[in-house]
Structure 1
């Protein structure tokens, strides 16, 4: 069974300003199984600072991918395979020495979903729109004071035959029948976004906003740390930026000062402003950690079919709401799927609808 037509994968990274290089790594791809079926493998890893984090995360992801490519076609115990793949990656890192990384790996296919979890990244399940099920975090954070307490690269990790590792979890196809999205995110999101902000983005995803729109929502929170600046005293901001050529901080006050500074900071047009704010605020309050997001739409083909069916209806019955829903989901797919008369009806209604919004 091929799952390629059924899934759509979206990945994005926001390199942080805490490290010289991005210490996150991710992978999303398809691997054949013993039965000839195809399984999606989705991973995120966040290397630990001070432990060759960038190398560790990339090595772990590559090692697990290699292990499953070599062993998945000959084995149908998927939960055990995920355990052994994680152990193999851990052995590789432990042999190198002083290389550590968190990891979340998900294997998804006809037999269900199988995952392992090390550290403080997260995996969320987002159900279909109008489902009775709720958005939920499948994993639990393993960290203390912002430092992961479970990771790959640990010397002396138990062998899977002795004790299960990586907080394994699995779900049957029946348990997944209402699932629409699998979302993986590193802790760079949790460090900047509140729980409510994260859930808001996932709820937007459930309600039909595409992955790109949801990512942009998150990116604004991560890149524009407005709330962090509001915590800073005005005088502290003025002192940090005093004397920088071309920067006028004498007039704006309160939130207007914050907006002015944020604009200068995010536009990156003045390197001295960025450097002073990054280094001048106690605790690096404007420095963001690396953030990686992987969104897997496991019902992509079903949704595309529904859109095409709706768009193929009589042009006179197409409503602005239906047009809007289809175009939001996938503009290119929605438009290219139309016949000429349906397209004419769609654009006529959109034009009339737009005129009422002026």
Structure 2
């Protein structure tokens, strides 16, 4: 009855133990102020909840959002979270007659969507620098080349020369920029004139994880294909469209949260380096680090009330852990737990 090429496992789960510091899912530690939520709730009440969002509404909201992003509306598609941007890349350029490449370790949903769309995909495990080489994709006949910048869970950026060579192959080049606010750089700025560049972004990491909002930046041809495959506008609810329309109200709060996270990220990095836990430089809202005692440390921190992510099961990441940057007081609890574990 079910597909034989898929190993159906338990649904995605996270620890349910009580915690004092939740640093495991790369969420923002900051929420919108109550008065902003109240304003947005009033705007949502204006919609007819018994009616589907109409195409004209989607078009109007997209125009408004595009102005806030300072890009033409023809270069934007609105999506149900950042994950839908990844799925969209496989929907428009993948499939059984295509061929794709995914560089690992990276966000596991790339492997999931490659399988779900039946796309023959090469999974290339990178070396310790976690940086792809043109030799990994040139002359391989790929129709879809994927990158993540900053990469999750390593935190590093794509080399722009490597990206340029990927674009020159003529394949659709998808770059997941879910964490770009914390890097303050975007490949879109440098390569938006390439019609085969497709950038996926999320609003989850900078504050709105609970709302599941994302968007695609690409050429009009790719945007039209993305919207066709996602059956826009019915993949988005009135809630999504209200928040996209009011992005100008939301944006200042996102930016302030990002500034604090960046400062705290550097504090965590220095701490991990000073206690000998081998952190990797990060341009995201998390820091990955390596320790031979990763399982013992993970369990100790869990009992101490600190949730972090064990990423040692990902390809090429044995003995690695990842900590999300939280509020200063949460980060202090994490650091205190590490000190106690190390006997410092």
TM-score, normalisation: structure 2 = 0.27
Larger strand percent: 1
User: Which has the higher relative contact order, 1 or 2, with Cα contacts under 8 A spaced 6 or more apart?
Assistant: 2
